[in-house]
Structure 1
């Protein structure tokens, strides 16, 4: 599973968080309305802490889990006050093998993080851990990228701005639904140039993959009335096509298991 370097994490925070900033308040509103008694939330693959901060603002206790020290470093620098207050806990753990001290009322996982899982077996392992972390009746909300997001990986793209000069080039194999993207260049941070050098690997997971992994974990697909798909994404080719960028799923932990 891909993890982000500190330099790429800083670049990601500055350039690739528009969608999650837009969506996190809507997600929090849905959780508040659908589960009025919610107290605790796990933000899986929490990244730089954008969603975690929104959830904490609702008064909930939030545990953020991420495999990347770089992403957690950005989150800790931004959210020190929430960490000191006890409303937020951050933990460096793998999405395929994590644990929480106590079961939570909801788990969220946003911005295509699950596409970094290498194989369907890894997706099942992750969802099994999610099921173990949830209270009975708790809900799991997450998104996965559609193939339209990855089409630009077959091209070379250049970002040339005052703060950053970044080149992206790679390959997306539509037959296997897998690809690799190299992101490299220079990012200015605190007046100093920092070299960015990151290799990303992702896999497409379709509805059948998602359904099988949820079933294996004792999680049941459920409807939701927030939008199910989005077109615009700063980091994908979906920004240049009407084809949806990602799909939003909701699942509930069965109380009969």
Structure 2
């Protein structure tokens, strides 16, 4: 998985969180309806804390786990008040090896974070940890990007705004379902210029990959009535095609 730098994290929070800001309230509504007894939620690969803030607003206790100090730094700056009230805890851990002091009622992982795993073994390690921290009857809701999201990686794209001039260029290998993207440029915040320089690696995981990882963790695939796929996000080529950007999955830990 890629480590996000502090500068890229600030750029990501400003420009690439539109989808998750719109989806997180719908996710919270689904959790309220499907599991009214929910009290604690793990936001895995929580990034800059967009979803964690929404979940805390529902009255739940949230643990945000991310391996990127840059992402967590942005989250702490924005959500320090929630941390002070003990509603939110942020922890720097790898999604393949994390642990929690006690089980949680639900785990969420959004915005294609799982696509940063470069092989199915790592995806299965992550899901095994999810299964270990979920309480019986708890649910796991997550998304993975579809290939439409990555097609623009073969091109040069430019963001030219008042506070950011950012170029993106890379390669997406459709045969292997893997790719690399370089994001570089300048971001202005509070009168200071910050150099953004980040290389991203991602892999496509299809339904078979996801299903095997879910079952290997002792979880059971489950239906949901949240919209299953989305055709647009501001960070991918899916914004210029009708093909789905990502797919939402749900799995449940059986009761003994």
Q: TM-score, normalized by length of structure 1?
A: 0.99
- 1:13 aligns to 2:47 (yes or no): no
Q: 2:20 aligns to what SS in structure 1?
A: helix
Runs of 5+ consecutive residues of structure 2 not aligned to the other structure: none
Partner deviation per Cα, 1:199-232 (whole Å, 9 max, x = no partner): 0000000000000001110011000001000011
Cα deviation 1:104-130 (Å, max 9, x = unaligned): 000000000000011100000000000
Matched, 1:197 2:197: yes
The match for 1:112 is 112
Q: Specify every segment of 5 or more residues in structure 1 that has no aligned partner in the other structure, as ranges.
A: none
Superposition deviation, residue 254 in structure 1: 1.7
Q: How many residues align?
A: 256
The CA distance in 2 between the partners of 1:41 and 1:182, in whole Å, is: 33
Corresponding residue of 1:138: 138
Identify the residue that residue 79 of structure 2 maps to in structure 1.
Answer: 79
Measure, in 2, the Cα distance between the counterparts of 1:191 and 1:216. 50
Deviations 1:149-187 (A, max 9, x none): 000000000111110000000000000000000000000
Distance 1:193 1:79 in 2: 23
- Inter-partner Cα distance in structure 2 for 1:254 and 1:199: 39
The structural deviation recorded for 1:135 is: 0.2
Matches within 5 A, 1:1-257: 1-256=1-256
Cα distance, 1:248 vs structure 2: 0.1
String of CA shifts for 1:75-131, please: whole Å, max 9, x gaps.
Answer: 000001100000000000000000011000000000000000111000000000000
TM-score (norm 2): 0.99
Whole-angstrom distance in 2 between the partners of 1:162 and 1:13: 16
